[in-house]
Amino acid sequence: MRHDVKFSLSIDDIPKRWYNIAADSPVPLPPPHNPATNEPMDPKALEAIFPRNLIEQEISQERYIDIPEEVRDAYVMLNRPSPLVRAVRLEKALKTPAKIYYKREDLSPCGSHKPNTAVPQAYYNMKAGTEHITTETGAGQWGMALSLACSMFDMSCKVFMTCSSYDSKPYRRIAMETYGAKVYSSPSGETKYGREIKAKFPDTPGSLGIAISEAIEAAVTDPTGKTRYSLGSVLNHVLLHQTIIGLEAKKQMQMAGEKLPDVIIGCAGGGSNFAGLAFPYTTDKINGANIEIIPVEPAACPTMTRAPFSYDHGDTAGMTPLLAMHSLGHAFVPPPIHAGGLRYHGMAPLVCQCIVEGLFTPRAYPQSKCYESALTWAKTEGTICAPETSHAIADS
């Protein structure tokens, strides 16, 4: 039988440390700015939003950060390590001489890579004494992952879901409720900001930016001080946790007898799944390896390919620090394309920094082309991929 198609690791091969690209970036990341003063901000100011242990990861310059034993055990429950698979049937259909490998992050209980960071975020929050977590979600994958992670560590979870996805994907809401979360259609009546937006724009399809503002407001206004906010992408510590993907992939590519890939492709909404795969290889590129690294986004929300690089808020209300990133503007509301997870006005600062340094070459595709690729993928590789993922396939 063929031994060149699927590469599986044992649970002992689950990496013991995450990789922090901040240690290797040729240029240091511009610091977050205070949203009120536009001056570099003290990380302590973030403590109303995030627990201190995660803030430490957010600003860490250490190259490797240990993964707690409890988190590695939880990764097993999330079905890690995930297989690396060679797309032999797709290669044949495309008549390409290229070898195409893909990482099966869809095999987690929630069907996405999101639990890779939801679980450590819930774990560190639990350690820091947090009892309730609030968050936003687009298509619902992040909300599902955090809902599950909170149930694992006995915390309650409130999710603000962009209303276009809330309406089009009711089963995702039900899934979050199954894990014990409370889910609100955003903009909601639960927050001051949500009520304002609803009054001003009654027909808005919602956006991740709006939902983030609501979730932060819900966290910081809790009088008990036991509520923190959790973000599913964009921030440094989120991308850090996702490097588990690329670290595993590197071991598996070695099993496959490959040295380094020529091209790395991933879809990018806030940037975390893409960075998770790409960062452990980006260090090779920084050190001279010839690798083309391509984040793919929807033409309907062209953050990396069309938006300026500047300081902007991560949310719509302007509650988050100002981050140095490509941004379509924090008030930008993308059209309600199916790839709800790619409807974000900004992009992870660490990803943007790599774009600025010429390490990544982003591309954008229209929805219809992505869907055509997804059909070819389903007929060859057998899985029906997410709308988000189809953006990466369109580039293959």
Q: C-beta of 80: minimal distance to its own copies in Å?
A: 9
CA dist 250 and 308 (Å) reads 33
- Token couple for 345: 């006005």
Q: Which is nearer to its own copies, 91 or 222 (CB)?
A: 91
Of the candidate residues 30, 31, 43, 109, the single one contacting its own copies (CB under 8 A): 109
| Alpha helices for 16-68 (secondary structure H) | 52-59
Of the candidate residues 175, 244, 275, 324, the single one contacting its own copies (CB under 8 A): 175
- Using CB under 8 A as the binding rule, whether residue 142 contacts its own copies is answered as no
Q: Which positions from 351 to 390 touch its own copies by CB under 8 A, shown as an x/- string?
A: ------------------------x--xx-xxxx------
Q: Which is nearer to its own copies, 146 or 278 (CB)?
A: 146
**Is-contact 280 156, C-beta < 8 A?**
no
Q: Which is nearer to its own copies, 59 or 378 (CB)?
A: 378
Of the candidate residues 2, 44, 95, 200, the single one contacting its own copies (CB under 8 A): 2
Q: What are phi and psi of 93, to 5 degrees?
A: -65, -35
Whether omega for the bond prior to residue 28 falls within 30 degrees of 0, making it cis, is: no
Q: C-beta of 32: minimal distance to its own copies in Å?
A: 33
- Using CB under 8 A as the binding rule, whether residue 5 contacts its own copies is answered as yes
- Token couple for 211: 């939902």
Residue with tokens 């860490």: 60
Of the candidate residues 10, 37, 224, 287, the single one contacting its own copies (CB under 8 A): 10
Of the candidate residues 54, 118, 148, 325, the single one contacting its own copies (CB under 8 A): 148
The residue type found at 376 is T
Interface residues for its own copies in 76-105 (CB under 8 A)?
Answer: 76-79, 83, 89, 104
Interface residues for its own copies in 279-318 (CB under 8 A)?
Answer: none
Q: How many CB atoms lie within 10 A of CB 286?
A: 15
Contacts of 358 (CB under 8 A, 6+ apart): none
Interface residues for its own copies in 14-43 (CB under 8 A)?
Answer: 14
Of the candidate residues 38, 61, 96, 178, the single one contacting its own copies (CB under 8 A): 178
Q: C-beta of 202: minimal distance to its own copies in Å?
A: 29
Long-range contact pairs involving 218-227 (C-beta distance under 8 Å, separation at least 24): 218/134, 218/158, 218/160, 218/190, 218/191, 219/48, 219/49, 219/133, 219/134, 220/48, 220/49, 220/319, 222/132, 224/131, 226/129, 226/130, 226/131, 226/132, 227/130, 227/131, 227/132, 227/133, 227/134
Q: Please, how many CA atoms are within 13 Å of residue 33, restricted to the half-sphere of its CB?
A: 15
Q: C-beta of 114: minimal distance to its own copies in Å?
A: 13
The residue type found at 307 is A
Q: C-beta of 394: minimal distance to its own copies in Å?
A: 16
Q: Which is nearer to its own copies, 10 or 287 (CB)?
A: 10
- Using CB under 8 A as the binding rule, whether residue 393 contacts its own copies is answered as no
The residue range among 107-115, 218-226, 229-237, 318-326 that interacts with its own copies, by the rule CB under 8 A, is 107-115
- Token couple for 253: 């590519």
Nearest C-alpha neighbor of 18 from the set 62, 56, 52, 51: 62
# of chain residues touching its own copies (CB under 8 A) = 37
Interface residues for its own copies in 40-79 (CB under 8 A)?
Answer: 69, 72-73, 76-79
Residue 191 burial by Cβ neighbours in a 10 Å radius (0-12, 13-18, 19+): buried
Q: Which residues of the chain form contacts with its own copies (CB under 8 A)?
A: 1-3, 5-6, 8, 10-12, 14, 69, 72-73, 76-79, 83, 89, 104, 107, 109-110, 148, 151-152, 175, 178-180, 375, 378-379, 381-384
